[in-house]
Structure 1
């Protein structure tokens, strides 16, 4: 059976779920990972973290390209890669091709028309610029799978306390109080960080344009103790557990946001999707990046509308056995 060709666009180094998604793709026998691009602040450092996971999987051959660090029209909020603290403990590449992320994406997609699935588990800064640079790219993709947006009411609260400490001292974000710029939880991080880029990505559609929103990903969560126990089953999890040590300084659970989007490519039983149209709010300063879905059988987009939690974890961990 032919493998599915994947390009992964990631902000690995902030939340632990990017590393988990990358590990899954590296171990998934049906995946041909064509390359990795990184995005947001400290993109080169994020490339090093991606290299750690690739080398731990004996896949140092995967090309990695640091991408855009800046947003379109607004200031970058995701400025730091806190998990870089582990780099001194793990083998990784030090040098990467500079200013070639978009050309790599464009070249690979054009050389493999109708065969590439572009997976975005990060703010949309790289993907939007790719679409603006080459407007034919969306139609040349086999599919676009995103962990992006919020389409339901999970943990919905459009207020925050001024004295809320936010994400603590280990935040990747500036300001640290992320609840403030997330409108108390009304917004999703990958959509709001670069809202103009998010709008570009949803305005440009091709064969498959699927989003797994944060309202769905919060259904695939493990408490810290169970996560650590399950991650002793394969050596590839060793650097991930090290990276998770940084994460657990301020968190007591792991949400598999990005892995859910990746798994949905290979296992149809995990997520169900509904078709419609997604619009992105740009007019409101406090709600920029808000994603509104309207169901329509002839719509341009699909969003995940349900998750089989047990099937997800069975599929995810199966590739490490």
Structure 2
């Protein structure tokens, strides 16, 4: 990659609940395999965030990316564990089980006297403030850590280039009881979702009705499995997740959302507007030229699936820190 190409890259922070649904790990690999992205660091959210951070560090290690213990390595911070709403954390129970002894995986410790959530909030705010308008925050889990950062540092909303969120269902679909359909990430902390989606940050959201149009097939998983140590680890987790739900294929929710940062032409965004968040985490988007939230309306599903697999494979081939342009 040329120096000019590196200079044009989008500087991205990933906030993730990696370790449960495998799509978070696939999104991490996609970012690593995207020459358009400079990944600045990772924060983890929801439940045992320390375990999630160690799992993240192990995947980076398998990708050949210098981790937190290396000079100039990629920061990986455990963040907010408990939802601001008080909603119990949903835990599948298989988090990290296929990644070996995670006690040897190194993460970035909090600053002295700071909780994990406060430390991650301070780091997020400082990273955005160091280059106002130049950092994108990709949030693919419950929005607890982003809301915590905004509570401590309201200026974060204006400092971000964009906040890209996987969450919600935005097409007005109803449950059999006549309630608006909701989605795991926003349902897991509706208080945080309301605070983040009304913060004034320039926000792009991809919901279930769009991500569910894209499928990861068994043949895709076989290709990923053959792509070195990281590919083998990812494929094992894909199969674990499919077995957990007794499904023969999967939806790459988070990687599809990450495409907004690297191939935005594959998704169609609606007009700006305001967001209303119900107490269950269900959401409504009200178009408003003065609003700051745009919601994805559609996706080129076939091209998006191919792009996800291609970029994940590229991320798996970074061993030794070598990037594939």
Normalising by structure 2, report the TM-score.
Answer: 0.83
Match of 1:205 among 190, 200, 224: 200
Q: Does 1:151 pair with 2:143? A: no
Match of 2:306 among 306, 314, 319: 314
Q: Which residue of 1 aligns with 2:183?
A: 188
For each residue in 1:127-154, what CA deviation from the matched residue of structure 2 results, as whole angstroms up to 9, or x when unmatched? 0011111111110001100001110156
For each residue in 1:203-222, what CA deviation from the matched residue of structure 2 results, as whole angstroms up to 9, or x when unmatched? 1023x310001111101122
Q: Does 1:243 pair with 2:244? A: no
Q: Which residue of 1 aligns with 2:97?
A: 85
Q: Which residue of 2 aligns with 1:163?
A: none
Between the aligned partners of 1:84 and 1:134, the Cα distance in structure 2 is 32
Task: Pick 1 or 2: higher relative contact order, CA cutoff 8 A, min separation 6.
Answer: 2
Q: Which residue of 2 aligns with 1:274?
A: 270
How far the C-alpha of 1:119 sits from its partner, in A, is: 0.5
Counterparts in 2 of 1:109 and 1:143: CA distance versus 1, 3 Å: same
Match of 1:259 among 255, 258, 274: 255
Q: Does 1:232 pair with 2:225? A: yes
1:52–1:239: 8 Å Cα contact kept in structure 2?
no
2:226–2:232: 8 Å Cα contact kept in structure 1?
no
- Give the alignment of 1:101-120 within 5 angstroms: 101-120=120-139
How far the C-alpha of 1:80 sits from its partner, in A, is: 5.4
Q: Does 1:29 pair with 2:29? A: no
Between the aligned partners of 2:157 and 2:34, the Cα distance in structure 1 is 25
Between the aligned partners of 1:297 and 1:81, the Cα distance in structure 2 is 44
Between the aligned partners of 1:65 and 1:90, the Cα distance in structure 2 is 15
Between the aligned partners of 2:88 and 2:108, the Cα distance in structure 1 is 22
Counterparts in 2 of 1:81 and 1:92: CA distance versus 1, 3 Å: farther
Counterparts in 2 of 1:68 and 1:41: CA distance versus 1, 3 Å: same
Between the aligned partners of 1:88 and 1:36, the Cα distance in structure 2 is 20
Gaps of 5+ in 1: 161-182, 283-287
Equivalent pairs counted in the alignment come to 290
1:153–1:215: 8 Å Cα contact kept in structure 2?
no
Find the residue that maps to 1:83 and give its secondary structure.
coil
Q: Which residue of 1 aligns with 2:26?
A: 20
For each residue in 1:62-111, what CA deviation from the matched residue of structure 2 results, as whole angstroms up to 9, or x when unmatched? 21000011111413322455231113268961454132211211111111
Between the aligned partners of 2:241 and 2:220, the Cα distance in structure 1 is 12
Counterparts in 2 of 1:244 and 1:78: CA distance versus 1, 3 Å: same
How far the C-alpha of 1:12 sits from its partner, in A, is: 0.5
1:55–1:91: 8 Å Cα contact kept in structure 2?
no
Find the residue that maps to 1:219 and give its secondary structure.
coil
Q: Which residue of 2 aligns with 1:131?
A: 150
How far the C-alpha of 1:49 sits from its partner, in A, is: 1.2
How far the C-alpha of 1:244 sits from its partner, in A, is: 2.2
How far the C-alpha of 1:317 sits from its partner, in A, is: 2.6
Counterparts in 2 of 1:14 and 1:137: CA distance versus 1, 3 Å: same
- Using the TM superposition, name which of 87-96 and 226-235 deviates more: 87-96
Give the aligned CA root-mean-square deviation in angstroms.
2.1
For each residue in 1:151-190, what CA deviation from the matched residue of structure 2 results, as whole angstroms up to 9, or x when unmatched? 0156x53459xxxxxxxxxxxxxxxxxxxxxx7x811111
Between the aligned partners of 1:92 and 1:226, the Cα distance in structure 2 is 33
Q: Which residue of 1 aligns with 2:160?
A: 141
Normalising by structure 1, report the TM-score.
Answer: 0.84
Between the aligned partners of 1:238 and 1:232, the Cα distance in structure 2 is 4
Q: Does 1:222 pair with 2:216? A: yes
2:215–2:305: 8 Å Cα contact kept in structure 1?
no
- Give the alignment of 1:54-93 within 5 angstroms: 54-59=60-65, 60=67, 61-79=73-91, 82-88=94-100, 93=105
